[in-house]
Amino acid sequence: MQMEHYTTLFDSNYVYQGINLYKSLRKHCKEFQLWVICMDDEVFNLLIKLNFMNLRPLRLSDFETDALRDAKKGRTFGEYCWTMTPFTFEFVFQLNPEIKRLTYVDSDVWVRKNP
């Protein structure tokens, strides 16, 4: 069975939703990795401390480019999160270019069976 890779992003305001996404994947998926772009240090530090199996927290500041920081200035935080969505793929593929398939999932989604 091939390892499935998922990516999402959230800040500390959505941490409960993100953790429930993770728990639903753990319940219904055998082989998966959830890559989380942490939109603030609070959620990054929490996920590091929780040390969930199959969850890899990524600190936004490690990937954020000057162009993205410039884009942030003219957007609300929610708009900036929407801007970041397509970049999650780039960040994950930088860390692991051998991934064959990567699926974006909003942090407030739960899976009810193996996707």
DSSP structural state of residue 31:
S
Model-wide pTM > 0.85: yes
Sign of the four-CA dihedral 2, 14, 88, 44: negative
How does pLDDT run across 9-42, given as a tens digit for each residue? 999 999 999 999 999 999 999 899 999 999 999 9
How does pLDDT run across 83-108, given as a tens digit for each residue? 999 999 999 999 999 999 999 999 99
The encoded tokens of residue 94 equal 């930088």
